[in-house]
Chains A and B, each alone.
Chain A
C-alpha cells in the first residue's frame, strides 16, 4: 500500500502557496527594474516545486517518477535554450550578401 499523507501537510502546502501568491502579487507593485521578472519567475518556480513535491507526491515517490518529471523540464529547457541561442545571437557575425 501507498503511504497516506496527513491532511495537515496538504493544508500547510496550500497556505504556503497562497502566501507565495500574496508575495508575488504585492512585489509586482514595487519597481525593481529587471528584478521584477526574476523575482516573479523565482516565486513561480518555487510554487511549482512545492505543488510537485507535496500535492503530486514527488516527495516519497519512486525514483522513476522523479526522472519522468525532471525529463519534462529538461526537454523544455533544451527547447528554450537552443531557440533563444538562435534568436539572440543573430547579427553577431556579419554576413556578406
Chain B
C-alpha cells in the first residue's frame, strides 16, 4: 500500500474527490435524482395537459372510448407496480443494511414484476390491435364522433407508451444493478445507485397511479 492511500485510509475509494464523505455524496445523488424527476413530471405533464384539455372538450366520447379499455388488466397492472415498489423499497433497505443476497433477490424480484407489467401491457395492446382501437388506417369506431374517439386512443397510446418505455429502461437498470450487487459493488455504504434507482422506480409507479384512473376509469363503468 502506498503512503498516500494509508494516509487517507478512513476515506473509502468510492467517495469521489469533491465530497467530504459518503453521506454527502449520497445526499448530492438524491438531490440530483429529485431534480431529474421534476423534469420527468413536466415531460409527462405535457401529455397530462393534452389529456385534460381534450377530456373537458370531448367528455362524452372520452367516456365511451375509455369503456373499451380492459379495466381488469389495467387494475391488475396497478397492483403489480405497487407490489414491485414494495420490493424496491425493501431492496434499498437491504442495501442500507449491506445484505447482499437479499438485495440481489429483491432487485431481481422488482425487475420480474416490471416484466409482468410489460407482459400484461403487451396483451392489452394486442387486444386493442385486434379490436381495431389502434389509431390510424385500421381504426374502427361504431359510436358517434369516431374522430375524437380516435383522439382518445392517440392519447392512451402516447401516455401508456411513454410510461412503458420508462418501465423498460427501469427493468434494464435493475438487471444491471442486480449483477453489480452480486459482485458486491454496493457494500460498505456505497449504495447511492440503488437508492436513486428506487426513486426512479417509485416515480414510474406514481405516473401509473394517475394513468390508471384517468384512462381506465373515465366516468363510471
Contacts and interface: CB of A to CB of B under 8 A. Distances in A.
A69 B34 contact: yes
A69 B109 CA distance: 27
A14 B23 CA distance: 28
A68 B85 contact: no
B48 A10 contact: no
Given A21-B82, A29-B220, A80-B48, A10 B90 contact: yes
B19 to A, nearest CB: 15
Contact of A55 (B71, B75, B85): B85
Interface in B23-78: 23, 26-27, 30-31, 34-35, 37-42, 45-46, 48-49, 52-53, 56-57, 71, 75, 78
B207 to A, nearest CB: 9
A14 B217 contact: no
Given A31-B220, A68-B38, A14 B85 contact: yes
Given A44-B210, A51-B202, A4 B96 contact: yes
B135 interface: no
Given A1-B23, A51-B205, A62-B27, A24 B213 contact: yes
What is the interface residue range for chain B against chain A? 35 or more
Interface in B77-93: 78-79, 82-83, 85-86, 88-90, 93
Contacts of A17: 82, 85
Tell me if A's interface is mostly helix, strand, loop or mixed.
helix
A31 B213 CA distance: 15
B34 A65 contact: yes
B214 to A, nearest CB: 8
Contacts of B214: 40, 44
Interface residues of A, number: 49
B119 to A, nearest CB: 19
| Residue of A31, A36, A61, A62 most packed against chain B (CB within 10 A) | A36
B134 interface: no
Given A2-B23, A75-B41, 16 more contacts: A14-B86, A30-B220, A32-B220, A36-B219, A40-B213, A40-B217, A44-B213, A51-B205, A51-B209, A52-B206, A62-B27, A69-B34, A72-B40, A76-B45, A80-B48, A84-B53
24 contacts: A1-B189, A4-B93, A10-B93, A18-B83, A21-B75, A21-B79, A24-B212, A40-B217, A44-B212, A44-B213, A47-B206, A48-B209, A48-B210, A51-B206, A52-B202, A54-B89, A56-B203, A68-B31, A68-B34, A71-B38, A72-B34, A72-B39, A83-B49, A87-B57
